[in-house]
Amino acid sequence: MAKIKQNALLQKMGDVYHYYVSIKLMLDNNDWDKCLIEQCGDIVLLDSDGNQMYNIEVKHHEEKKELKIYEEEFQKTLFNWFDIRNLFDENTKLVLMTSSLVSKRNLLENWNKFDFNKKYSTLNENLKKSNGDYYSNVDKYFHKINKNVNELKELLEKFTIEHSIPNISKIKDEIKKLSFFKAFKDDELKKNKVIDDLYGLIGRGLKDKKRWEITNSQFNQKLRESTNLIQDKILRTNNDIDRTKLDLEVNNHTNKQFIKKLENIDFLSDIQQQAINNYAKSIIEIIDRTVLSGSLEFDDRLDNYKEDLTELVNEVKTEYRYKRNLSDIEKSQDSYFQIMGSKKIPFMPEEFEDQTTFFQKGYLHILADDEDEPKKICWSLKPEDEI
């Protein structure tokens, strides 16, 4: 039987690994605008202006392999980047991500700490065998680009190595450690389902094509769709709050703006205590919701929520501004009670079933306590206090 010259399975495994690493990078970075695969590099992350933030080469080995400065894995990576160096700007990061090892006393052990001169000298001084001959990959790659020393040094400045990264058997476990998956707790089946959906997104996108790309918004849309299909409702109630963490003493809050704004419309300690209770619980709850939300556009939702609450306050205050036969204090107090009793404004994604009674009330007081925008939420309808 003829011997098989090349095992195509190893190449396929490399592709599979490549896709999983792409998923991990897209989930673990929030500031990219577009991801490209097999286009100007294994994985490229672009910013909103189309500049390359990261250009990443991914190398997978089934066996334990030492990364050597003179071998093809290193030399070809540098050669390929040099060939497209005009695509990089001063902020581009070039990363060789490899499952290869860099052991102690390896020339590359402190590579990421070297400046470009040290990287260049390390290269030049360690490319020959003991008999004085250059390694074959040095002739094939390095000598062809070493004629442009200044440009090569600029490239080396950007070049870092992430070695010993988990191989294909462990990469999914690494993805599951990302903050997004905390919402699934210990449900491995659901975690695997989301990862498989994202893997399919890349695989289908590359079908019959040699490159793949997706925007951040498209990726997050797919993430939301996949999550909503399998996520159980996360019930949020008042009982989720650890009351031992709450500071509910009125005396500890007297200098806060949200208390002073209540005093300004003649509310005494009874109303102040209610506000403090809701405020303190919401501070704790917002931290928990941040964790549970993972990467489901939490910051964007929070910004919209703030605007919705501000609009609610202004609409109710406008209504009471035209009330007749009421003093300004009475208008202010009555509008405050109506605002606090208003129907809940949606905030969390669909997978949250929020049955808390304090959160919206508490968050209104968090906004009222904002030192950067002290007049954004005010309760007073006195003419001198109008925004």
pLDDT in tens, the chain (387 residues): 444 444 566 667 778 898 999 999 999 887 899 999 988 889 999 999 999 999 999 999 888 899 999 999 999 999 999 999 999 999 999 999 999 999 998 999 999 999 999 999 999 999 999 898 999 999 999 999 998 899 999 999 999 999 999 888 889 999 999 888 887 778 898 899 889 888 888 877 666 667 788 898 888 888 877 776 666 667 788 998 988 889 999 899 999 999 999 999 999 999 999 999 999 999 998 888 776 655 445 667 778 889 999 999 999 999 999 999 999 999 999 999 999 999 998 876 555 788 899 999 999 999 999 988 888 899 999 876 654
**CB neighbours (10 Å) of residue 66?**
13
CA distance 23 to 14: 14
Q: Which residues make beta-bridge pairs with 95?
A: 56, 160
Residue 1 lies in a domain: no
Same domain (yes/no): 222, 260:
no
Position 175 in a domain: yes
Q: Are residues 240 and 212 in the same domain?
A: no
> Last residue of some domain: 193, 213, 230?
230
30 part of a folded domain:
yes
- Structural domains in the chain (count): 2
pLDDT at position 1: 40
* Same-domain pairing of 195 and 291: no
Residue 91 in any domain: the answer is yes
Asked if the structure places residue 2 within a domain, the reply is no
Same domain, 95 and 204: yes
Residues 289 and 304 in one domain: yes
**Same-domain status, 243 and 220:** no
**Residues 21, 121: one domain?**
yes
Quote the DSSP letter at residue 100: S
Judge if 280 and 133 occupy the same domain: no
Q: Is 121 a member of any domain?
A: yes
Exposure class string for 36-50: b at 16+ Cβ within 10 A, else e: bbbebbbbbbbbeee
pTM: 0.62
Residue appearing with tokens 């489901």: 296
pLDDT recorded at residue 207: 61
Distance CA 36, CA 307 (A): 34
Q: Cβ(89)–Cβ(52) under 8 Å? A: yes
26 CB neighbour count, 10 Å cutoff: 21
Q: What 8-state DSSP symbol labels residue 143?
A: H
* Residue after which a domain boundary falls, among 203, 230, 257: 230
Going by the DSSP 8-state scheme, the letter that residue 128 receives in this structure is B
Domain-located, residue 51: yes
Q: What is the DSSP letter of 135?
A: P
State whether 189 and 239 are in the same domain. Answer: no
State which of 230, 246, 273 marks the end of a domain.
230
Asked whether residue 274 is domain-assigned, the answer is yes
Domain identity same for 217 and 249 = no
> 305 with 200, same domain?
no
Q: Which domain holds residue 65?
A: 8-230
Q: Say yes or no: 141 and 191 in one domain.
A: yes
